[in-house]
Amino acid sequence: MVKRRIWLAFLLVALLAFVSGCSQINEPITPESKGFWNQYIVYPLSWLITYVANLFNDNYGLSIIIVTVLIRLVILPLMIQQTKNSKAMQALQPELQKLREKYSSKDMQTQQKLQQETMLLFQKHGVNPLAGCFPLLIQMPILIGFYHAIMRTKEIANHNFLWFDLGDKDPYYILPLIAGVTTFIQQKMIMAGTEQQNPQMAMMLWMMPVMIVIFAINFPAALSLYWVVGNIFMIIQTYFIKGPDIKTANSGGAKK
């Protein structure tokens, strides 16, 4: 299951790179723009960012922060469900390990039996092993939409915020590095207590931040700003939901 999440993450990042490079990126986004993608994702995001910026003296950087928080609040129930599902998966690790030991043979019949028993265990405890992928599936269209809204809305791309231009790369690579660090902290909190039980999850813990840094270095700073604010929101949310588990995992690691 974790392998699937890793490959899904790679696939979605590749999809982002592909879609963001499509020919429409040079066409301004307007209310007259045609197509489902333009009418229902890109233009609404462009309009919302512009509308909020106008409320704050054309501060588009602040607008992106506010819109990011609003989007995170909208998808908050899904993210809470992901965090709870992660906790449930952590609780099942001892039983999953027993099943792996019981069906340790690598022949096809034994492995099929292992998969069947694993799925029965998930069903019994109401755990969805793919739930961790759903927030990523929801976020990627928004992320791609943000990219198009930024690049195809002249008012957004031509404004600056703090030390960077919203439509250009961060010249000092500060935002990409913060995006990577906050991604690592977020992943670490979500996976608290499971890395040692599942080496593949530990690999995911390091791979995702590296992917995000590479991704953020090559795209507009406004997109990195969206990612950083979203990560900080997630870190705070995860702390309030998984706080006791995180403290237990940290104290357990300290004893070792």
- Chain segment 14-42, per-residue pLDDT in tens: 555 555 445 466 688 888 888 888 888 88
Q: DSSP state, 24?
A: G
CA–CA distance, 173 with 175 (Å, rounded to integer): 6
Q: Which residues pair with 160 in a beta bridge?
A: 165
Half-sphere exposure of 149 (CA within 13 A, CB side): 28
The model's pLDDT over 196-252, given as tens digits with 9 standing for 90+, comes to 555 566 676 778 888 888 888 888 888 889 889 988 988 888 888 766 555 555 555
C-alpha distances (whole Å) from 129 to each of 56, 87, 89, 134, 176 are 43, 11, 8, 11, 30
The model's pLDDT over 71-100, given as tens digits with 9 standing for 90+, comes to 888 888 877 777 777 777 777 778 888 888
CA–CA distance, 21 with 148 (Å, rounded to integer): 10
The model's pLDDT over 118-127, given as tens digits with 9 standing for 90+, comes to 888 888 877 7
Q: pLDDT band at 254, cuts 50/70/90?
A: very low
Q: pLDDT band at 175, cuts 50/70/90?
A: very high
CA–CA distance, 233 with 228 (Å, rounded to integer): 9
The model's pLDDT over 148-162, given as tens digits with 9 standing for 90+, comes to 888 788 888 788 898
Tokens (6 digits) for 242: 């998984």
Question: Which has more pLDDT, 12 or 137?
Answer: 137
User: What type of residue is 115?
Assistant: Q
Tokens (6 digits) for 185: 């902290």
Question: Which has more pLDDT, 219 or 131?
Answer: 219
Q: Are 29 and 38 in contact (CB under 8 A)?
A: yes
Q: Which has the closest alpha carbon to 148: 213, 226, 234?
A: 226
pLDDT value of residue 239: 81
Question: Which has more pLDDT, 52 or 219?
Answer: 52
Return the beta strands (E) in the chain as ranges: 160-161, 164-165
Question: Which has more pLDDT, 187 or 14?
Answer: 187
